[in-house]
Amino acid sequence: MNTQLGDGMERGVYGFRGFKFRTLFYRHGYTVHYAEHVVDPRDGREKLVMADPHNRFSVVIYDVGKGVIEEELVVPGKTIPNPHIAHILLEDISVIGGRAGDIVCADREGRWVLIDRDEKRVKWSLSLEDTAWPHDIVPIEEGFIVTDYGSGGEGGFVRKVDFNGVTKWSLPMSGAAKVSRIFGSTASGIHSNSFGGDYIVTQNSDVGGVYELDDEGRVVWKCPKSYGEVNSIWLFKPHSAFRLGLAEAGGNLTIVGLEAGGGIVAIDYYCRPRWGITSTYSHIPVLHYRPSTYGLLETTHVFPTLWGTIGAIDWRGYAGSAVIEIVEIPRTPLTWVLALGIDPGDGVLLDPPLEVLDREFVAMDLVNSGEAKVRWSLHVTRQPALIESKHSVKWQLYSSGIVEPGSVQSIELDNRRNMFTFARVYVEKVSGGRAALSIFVVWL
């Protein structure tokens, strides 16, 4: 496999405030929103297969080793801004006449299409009656997983269809964007990057979601969680996501690209951020994207490279967007939600405990939107492992208080000396009425 950068590519590593990246592709006027790094089945060379839905309305195939645009396939139509994705077929799909190396994507007339790469023509298409803005089309063994973005906040879906367009299952989802397949597992099945599903789908909305679906269309994992649940994160207009790692016991990360303000964040099974670059998001006084201080403006895509690294696309170029390979992620503050509108009743521990050994600060706002008083307490320990069946776990009280109805109380855990390994929050209702407690966390 050729892993050297071609002469046409920028070899240097660039960065802002500790965020370092290498530019894999940038051309003035090319506003690519999607890229996949693959070995072309036609010639065995590494390619970036990209989609430009705004300027060139085309699929762009870039030879990584040579550093040249090898092909450009303009999609049919004049109405819808597409293609937002483009997948190269890695093997034949004879039932629709697809040959390895052909392209599937959405066109500008409300269809999903198969483009013959040699003849530059559409040789198969799929139309569905309730489609408003077709987005992704992922080939699977018995058909496709397709997404429709919807229009004006209405419609939108994730759907499994056979090669004739017959629906096998459908999940309504406004703003349904990109799909990534979950592939990795070992022969033993112990190591897997699945949390029980087969596909990851992003929902591009203000506080959008990342959903893991199984092959029957059931949601088996999602972030953010619903109101009344614990352990969540607010993702600001996520446009793409993929699963990274091949760990045991759910120890993988989900890499999410955030359109609003530019950002990339890695979240764990519990929706807690482990590392990343994110900005804040506000509609005050109006909706306005706020670029991050790390040089990201609007991150439209994240993807795995063939080199085991993370790629991304961001509107950081001049009159174009850049495809980059991340080289270094800085240590940055990250936000998440420990609880959202919960009623703790007679008392509940907000588990799992927070791993804080490598965190310098943990700050929390406890917001009581209910009618009942809520008592809270923060406990810490220096024990390196919490295995209650083998070792007695002892906690010490760090701080405590009562959050009155309609009020906000702040907690700050100072761990700059790395004195504590875990922290744990306990909350309980101490007066009558309905409780609705939310806990917003920033950790560094």
Q: What is the 3-state secondary structure (H, E, C) of the chain?
A: CCCCCCCCCCCCEEEECCEEEEEEECCCCCCCCEEEEEECCCCCCEEEEEEECCCCCEEEEEECCCCEEEEEEECCCCCCCCCCCEEECCCCEHHHCECCCCEEEECCCCCEEEEECCCCEEEEEECCCCCCCEEEEEEECCEEEEEECCECCECCEEEEECCCCCEEEEEECCCEEEEEECCCECCCCCCECCCCCCEEEEECCCCEEEEEECCCCCEEEEECCCCCCEEECCECCEEEEEEECCCCCCCCEEEEEECCCCEEEEECCCCCEEEEECCCCCCCCCCCCCCCCCCCCCEEEEEECCCCCEEEEEEEECCEEEEEEEEECCCCCEEEEEEEEECCCCCEECCCCEECCCCCEEEEEEEECCCCCEEEEEEEECCCCCCCCCCCCCCEEEEEEEECCCCEEEEEEECCCCCCCEEEEEEEECCCCCCCEEEEEEEC
215 with 77, same domain? yes
262 with 296, same domain? yes
As a whole-number percent, the residues of the chain with pLDDT over 70 amount to: 98
171 with 130, same domain? yes
Residue 415 in domain: yes
Length of the chain equals 444
pLDDT band at 354 (very low <50, low <70, confident <90, very high): very high
Query: How remote is the C-alpha of 56 from its chain's centroid?
Result: 26
As a whole-number percent, the residues of the chain with pLDDT over 90 amount to: 83
Digit-coded pLDDT (tens) for 92-102: 999 999 999 99
- Evaluate if residue 10 carries a pLDDT over 50: no
Residue 73 in domain: yes
221 with 362, same domain? no
321 with 364, same domain? no
Digit-coded pLDDT (tens) for 190-219: 888 999 999 999 999 989 899 999 999 999
Q: How far apart are CA 49 and CA 287, in angstroms?
A: 32
Q: How far apart are CA 63 and CA 70, in angstroms?
A: 6
- Under 8 Å between Cβ of 232 and 247: no
273 with 367, same domain? no
Instruction: Provide the mean pLDDT of the chain.
Output: 93
* Contacts (Cβ under 8 Å, ≥6 apart) of 268: 251, 252, 253, 254, 274
Q: What is the pLDDT of residue 293?
A: 85
pLDDT band at 137 (very low <50, low <70, confident <90, very high): very high
Number of structural domains in the chain: 2
Residue 4 in domain: no
Which of 299, 332, 365 corresponds to the end of one domain? 332
Digit-coded pLDDT (tens) for 260-281: 878 999 999 999 999 999 888 8
| CATH for 380 | 2.60.120.380
Digit-coded pLDDT (tens) for 142-198: 999 999 999 888 899 999 999 999 999 999 999 999 999 998 777 777 888 999 999
What is the domain range of residue 345? 335-443
Residue 346 in domain: yes
Residue 1 in domain: no
133/278: higher pLDDT: 133
- Under 8 Å between Cβ of 197 and 221: yes
162 with 54, same domain? yes
| CATH for 38 | 2.120.10.30
Q: Average the pLDDT over 426-444 and give the result.
A: 96
Which among 415, 414, 400, 397 is positioned nearest to 366, based on CA atoms? Answer: 400
130 with 36, same domain? yes
Q: What is the pLDDT of residue 2?
A: 40
Which among 143, 133, 221, 148 is positioned nearest to 182, based on CA atoms? Answer: 221
Which of 287, 312, 332 corresponds to the end of one domain? 332
Q: Average the pLDDT over 325-343 and give the result.
A: 95
Q: Average the pLDDT over 66-75 and give the result.
A: 97
304 with 400, same domain? no
Q: Average the pLDDT over 393-418 and give the result.
A: 96
For residue 9, the one-letter residue type is: M
CA distances to 40, 134, 339 from 147, rounded to whole Å, are 25, 6, 31
300 with 433, same domain? no
